[in-house]
Structure 1
Amino acid sequence: MASILSTIASYLPQHEGLLPKWLLFISAVSIGNSIQTYATLSYTARVYSENPSLKNPPKKSDSTAPSSAVSAYSHPTSTVTPLSARTFGTWTLVQSMVRLYAAYNISNPQIYQMAYWTYVIAFAHFMSEWWIFGTTKWGAPLAGPVIVASSSLIWMWLQWEYYVQ
C-alpha cells in the first residue's frame, strides 16, 4: 500500500504548498467535464438553463419555428446545442491543459500568468452569461464554476510572490 501511494505521489507536482495540487485537481475535473460535453448535453444544459427568448415566448400564431425545434434540445428552456456543448468542452480542455502545465511549472511567471488568465476568462464568461446575456441563473450548476474561478483567482493573486521568484 505504501509503495502505491509513493508511486502516485511521484506523479503529483513537486512544488511545496497546495496551489499546484489544486491546479492539478481542477485540471483533472475539467478534463472530465470536457469529455462529458461530447457525450451528453444534460450537464451543460443545467448550467445554461435559461433561454431568454423563451421567457416571453411568441404566441402560437406568431411562431415561425417548427414545434419540434425546442424538443431537439435536452432541456426545453436551454440554449445548449450539440455544437455549443462541444465548443464549450474544447474551450474547457484548452484551459485544463494550461492549468495542468501551471501545476508542474508554477514558478514560471509566464505559465503562472497564463493559468491566472484562464480563471479571469472563465469568471468573466460565467458572470456575463448570468448578468448580461441571461442564459444562466444563480444556483448550484453556476455556483461551482464561479466559486472555483473566483477562489482560484484570489489564491493565485495572493500566492504570486511565493511561487514566482
Structure 2
Amino acid sequence: MLATLRGWLAVVAVMAFGNTLQCFRNHDFLAERLYTGTPELVNGLQARLFGMWTLLAAVVRLYCALDITNKSLYYITMSSFVLALGHFLLETFVYQTAALDIGVITPIIVSGVSLVLMVVGLWYLEPAGSDQRYQDRDVDTKLLLEQEMLRARKKRT
C-alpha cells in the first residue's frame, strides 16, 4: 500500500509542478480553467501567489513520496490535501468564484482521493510494536533516574 501511495504522491507532485509553471507563465490560465465564476478577479499577483502555494504543496508531496515513513512529513502532506480540498470547496460553494466544471472537479477529486489514501496509509505506516524504540528510551530514562537517586541516597548516608 505504501509503495502505491508513494507513486500516487509523486504523480500528484509532478502535476502540481506543471500547474505552477502555468501560473507563472500565463495568469489567464487561472481565469480560464479554475476561477471561471469571477474571472475578472484573477490578476498576475493572484496567479503568482497561487503558483507559489502550488509549488510549496508539490515540494512537500514529493518529499513525502521519497520519505513516506517520516510521520511529521506525512501529516504535513495530509494537511496540504485538507487545505487544497477546503480551498476548492469554499471557492466553489461559498465564495462562488469557481464554477463546478472540469477545472475545479479535478483538484477536488485528486485532493479528496489523496486524503482518503493517506488516511488508509496510516494503517500501514506504523506496524504494531514499532514504537518499541520509544518504550526502550523511556525505560533507559527511568533506569538512569533510579541510579541517580541511589547515588544521592548514598551521599546522604
Other structure's SS at 1:18 match: helix
- Paired residues of 2:2 and 2:121 also in contact (CA < 8 A): no
- Paired residues of 1:35 and 1:89 also in contact (CA < 8 A): yes
Call closer, same or farther: CA 1:164–1:92 in 2, change over 3 Å: farther
Aligned-residue offset at 1:16: 5.2
2:46 corresponds to: 84
- Paired residues of 1:41 and 1:81 also in contact (CA < 8 A): yes
RMSD of aligned residue pairs (Cα, Å): 1.4
Of 95, 101, 105 in structure 2, the residue corresponding to residue 139 of structure 1 is: 101
Aligned residues: 126
Aligned-residue offset at 1:128: 0.6
TM-score (norm 1): 0.72
Call closer, same or farther: CA 1:16–1:134 in 2, change over 3 Å: closer
Specify which structure has the bigger relative contact order, considering alpha-carbon pairs within 8 angstroms and separated by 6 or more residues.
1
Amino acid at match of 1:26: V
Which residues of 2 match residues 39-54 of structure 1 at below 5 A? Answer: 39-45=25-31, 46-51=33-38
- Paired residues of 1:20 and 1:104 also in contact (CA < 8 A): yes
Call closer, same or farther: CA 1:100–1:131 in 2, change over 3 Å: same
Poorly superposed stretches of 4+, deviation over 3 Å: none
| Percent identity of equivalent pairs | 31
CA displacement 1:71-105 (0-9 Å, x = unmatched): xxxxxx44210100000000000011110110011
Which residues of 2 match residues 1-165 of structure 1 at below 5 A? Answer: 17-45=3-31, 46-51=33-38, 77-165=39-127
